[in-house]
Structures are given as structure tokens and as C-alpha cells.
A and B are shown apart, each in its own frame.
Chain A
Amino acid sequence: GEDVEQSLFLSVREGDSSVINCTYTDSSSTYLYWYKQEPGAGLQLLTYIFSNMDMKQDQRLTVLLNKKDKHLSLRIADTQTGDSAIYFCASPSGGGADGLTFGKGTHLIIQP
């Protein structure tokens, strides 16, 4: 089955850029997703990228996809205290409605 890996913690200063990295194993994944989870809350879909794209930009968020290395990254520009959360990358577990496999999540810590 799919395996998704992320580093567990990232600490950045307010105003700097944050880059959260993720690797996955299933090269047939058509879409890849980034979710945000604040303490005690559900998961909020932040953005996604289709596998035939290298980059997608959405306001402060930039997603980069390297299909050859099966590497996905999420860059948050001008990181704010409200960005403090756990960020999960996710890949479909299989075709159709097979659910998502999540990475372990990266805890983004903002330093003032």
C-alpha cells in the first residue's frame, strides 16, 4: 500500500517562509493533497496538485511536485502565528473512493 513520510516538526520565525516536505511511494497517485489541522479541530483541505503539474500557487501557498523523486513540498510565504498547526500531506490509498493515506504530520511552530 501507499506510504507517506514527513518530518515531524518545523520551527520558523514569523514573517519567514515555511517549507514542509513530504515523500510518497505510489507513483500512480493522480492527486496529492495538503491538509491543515489546528488543535482540537478537524482537517481543513488547504490545496492539492494534479500529478501532471510541477507547481501550483494559491495566494501564500506554493506546492511543488517532483514526480521522479516522489517528493512534494508546501511553501507558506510570510508565515503568521495563525499558520501554527499540524500539516498533513495525503495521497489516495488506491483508485476511486479508497480513502487517503496520510503522512505523520508536520507540526509548524512559529517563533515571534
Chain B
Amino acid sequence: GDSVTQMEGPVTLSEEAFLTINCTYTATGYPSLFWYVQYPGEGLQLLLKATKADDKGSNKGFEATYRKETTSFHLEKGSVQVSDSAVYFCALTSANFGNEKLTFGTGTRLTIIP
């Protein structure tokens, strides 16, 4: 079945540091890939997505590229801010339009220190 393996946390960085959170997946067919973020006290929010190989999703300075050859979708940001502190989830669906169920990784808690 589908699965997502995500870099274990927690991750603590200083403000303005470079961020990478690794994510690899196993899926049949051609999944769509997502990063969701959960800020303290809030619900899950879509951060970015990519629906086919070599697509790059980007939002709020975060980027992730759909790499079919390595089955990866690593999240990166060049300069993190304190406001980026949150839990980040990598996820996939097996249908292009996301109507199928989301399969999530375990989440990575990110803390940014001023």
C-alpha cells in the first residue's frame, strides 16, 4: 500500500538558517504529493503540492520538487523565521485531483530560535 516516510524530528534551527525536511514515498501509479503545516493551536493547512514528476511546488518561501526517480519530495526553505515553527506533514494521494484519501507521514516538529 501507499506509505510516506518522513524525517524524524524534532528539528531546531536558528533564525535565517537553511531548512531541509526529507520525505520519501511508496505508491502505486502516479501520486500527487503534498506538504501540510500545522501551526500551534490551528488545523492542518496545505503548504504546497506537486501533481507530476519534476513539478516544483512553492509557497511562503518553501519549495519541494517531485522526484520520481528517487521517490522523494523534500521540503526546503532558504531562510527560516520564528513564525515557521510548526509541525510539517508530507502526504500523498493516489488520484491527481486529490479526491482520494491522503496518506500522511508522521510529521516533523520544527522550532526556530531567534
A binds B: no
Q: Which positions in B face A, CB cutoff 8 Å?
A: none
